Structure 1
Amino acid sequence: MAKFAVGEVAFVGLIACMLVCASPRVDAKITCLQVTNWLTPCISYGVMGGSVPMECCTGIHELNAAYKTIEDIRKACSCVQNGAAMSPGVDYDRINELPGKCSSNFPYRVYPDTDCSKVGFALSEQSSK
């Protein structure tokens, strides 16, 4: 009888482990490499203006779809801010025009003085810095 109880406990443990391992990860984190890959096509517009490349809009849409947490939004904000700072001649007003030109929203605006640790409280607050 003890052998049956041990086997039953092991089986329940196995099922519990399978459920935990199979559950979707909601703590996925956006990386700067991902942000860079999505938004690199936007650099030419941010520096020179002109027409917005379709790949830029695709990247903005993919970035927005990747947000899972406020921390994802804050991380992406920091990545965009740092990337813009390393792009000589970047026009921050142009950068902030991109979501509208791509028929998208962005949960923050990027300027050198944007405090990325405070963005992301609500996606509807995108009009504030």
Structure 2
Amino acid sequence: MKATTLCSLLLLSSLLLLLLLPREAAAAVNCAVVAAKAAPCLSFATGKVPRPPAACCAGLQQLAHQAVTVADRRTTCHCLENGVKRFPGVQDRFLSKIPAACNIRVGFPVSRNTNCDRIK
């Protein structure tokens, strides 16, 4: 009986702890956050401005710091991939320049056709 009560208390404590964790800790990456942080990059990705705006670089740098696991990086990539599909004016020649222009090392070529499942 004592062991069952102890297990129940531990389970309840664990569940409460999960509920109290900040959302960022519970789920490091979600598409709404990715979209919000990447949105300032659209003006450059569509060729409307000559360089990525500071807000673009800041947002992508934050995403890079949040995406610490392979799963996080793949999720971020898939979110960006799906977002880019909504904007046909986004061009690879601009997308590919964003990491260097924002001083972000992503470790894979950036394009509309990036295979997110191959990211490590």
- Counterpart of 1:68 in 2: which secondary structure? coil
TM-score normalized by structure 1? 0.70
> Are the equivalent residues in 2 in contact too, given 1:77–1:108 (CA < 8 A)?
no
Gaps of 5+ in 2: none
Report the number of matched residues.
115
TM-score normalized by structure 2? 0.74
Gaps of 5+ in 1: 122-129
> Are the equivalent residues in 2 in contact too, given 1:28–1:68 (CA < 8 A)?
no
- The CA RMSD measured in Å over matched residues stands at 2.8
**Mapping 1:67-86, distance limit 5 Å:** 67-86=67-86
- Counterpart of 1:103 in 2: which secondary structure? coil
Instruction: Give the C-alpha shift of residue 57 in structure 1.
Output: 0.7
- Counterpart of 1:111 in 2: which secondary structure? coil
Which residue matches 2:56? 56
Percent identity (aligned): 23
Distance in 2 between the 1:83 and 1:19 partners? 35
Summarize the Cα distance change of 1:16–1:89 in structure 2 as closer, same or farther, 3 Å threshold: closer
Summarize the Cα distance change of 1:115–1:18 in structure 2 as closer, same or farther, 3 Å threshold: same
